[in-house]
Amino acid sequence: MRLSLSLLLSSMLIGFCTSLHAQTANDFYNAGTAHGLKEEYNAAIAEFSKALDKQPVFAEALLSRGLCYLRIKKYKAAIQDFTALLKANQQDASALYNRAQAKLALGDFNGALADTEDAMRIKQGDPQLYFIKGQIQYAMGNYGQSIDDLGTSISLDAGNPAVYYKRGVVNYIAGYKEAACKDLEKAAAMGYQEAYDILRLYCR
């Protein structure tokens, strides 16, 4: 009886180990995606890392892990993943855009601007690229250029309240109070909560 039980346990252990070994890069990637959708970013990163251990050049896993790093503000790790993506495909506008976000967060404004402009050459007329370019120009103190870029973003997609809000902030700092309040009112009307707060303070 003891021998039979021992054999059964051994068989179960072998089966379990074989099952683990049989997991593919896609299995780990899918598990990471499931965690990411639940905003469980550290768990997602662990699964994407397993996928990349199995398949080092796995573009979707690199992008997804990089995005998770962005969410938890591990910007240097995010830059590493987006750079690895660009080594495999220099025309990956998404990797350039996301790397620009990470560089902006780290204060590397020139690097962020260079990545954004490279992405614009690949993906022309993208409102999100003009949005981030406007944010970079604002961070660099180039308020006029920032307002122009944010305006271009709005002309390409008038449905993003965050862009109106940002342009309102830049207009206010640049001394254009009337234009600022107009943008903030638009953002507030679209449900952007931060715009309400500033309106109450500065646009009475």
The tens-digit pLDDT sequence of the chain (204 residues) is 444 544 444 544 445 444 445 789 999 999 999 999 999 999 999 999 999 999 998 999 999 999 999 999 999 999 999 999 999 999 999 999 999 999 999 999 999 999 999 999 999 999 999 999 999 999 999 999 999 999 999 999 999 999 999 999 999 999 999 999 999 999 999 999 999 988 888 887
Max CA-CA distance within the chain? Answer: 87
Residue 166 burial class via C-beta count within 10 angstroms: exposed 0-12, middle 13-18, buried 19 and up: buried
- Of 65, 73, 74, which Cα lies nearest the Cα of 82? 65
pLDDT at 47: 95
Matching CATH number, 130-204, of 1.10.10.10, 1.25.40.10, 3.40.50.300, 3.60.70.12: 1.25.40.10
CATH fold for domain 26-124: 1.25.40
Query: What pLDDT was estimated at residue 5?
Result: 44
What is the predicted pLDDT for the residue at 140? 98
Please say whether the beta carbons of 106 and 93 come within 8 A. Answer: no
Axis crossing angle, helix 25-37 with helix 41-54, rounded to the nearest 10? 170
Residue ranges of the alpha helices (H) in 38-126? 41-54, 59-71, 75-88, 93-106, 109-122
Q: Are 103 and 83 in contact (CB under 8 A)?
A: no
pLDDT for position 45? 97
Position 167, amino acid: R
Q: What is the pLDDT of residue 197?
A: 87
- Rounded to a whole number, what is the distance in angstroms from the first to the last CA of the chain? 85
The three-point CA angle 86-88-89 to 5° equals 60
Token digits of residue 123: 């993906």
Q: What is the pLDDT of residue 200?
A: 87
The residue ranges of every structural domain in the chain are: 26-124, 130-204
Tokens found for residue 150: 């944010």
Domains 26-124 and 130-204 share a fold: yes
With 0-12 / 13-18 / 19 or more C-beta atoms within 10 angstroms meaning exposed / middle / buried, residue 81 is buried
Residue 16 confidence (pLDDT): 45
pLDDT value for 13: 47
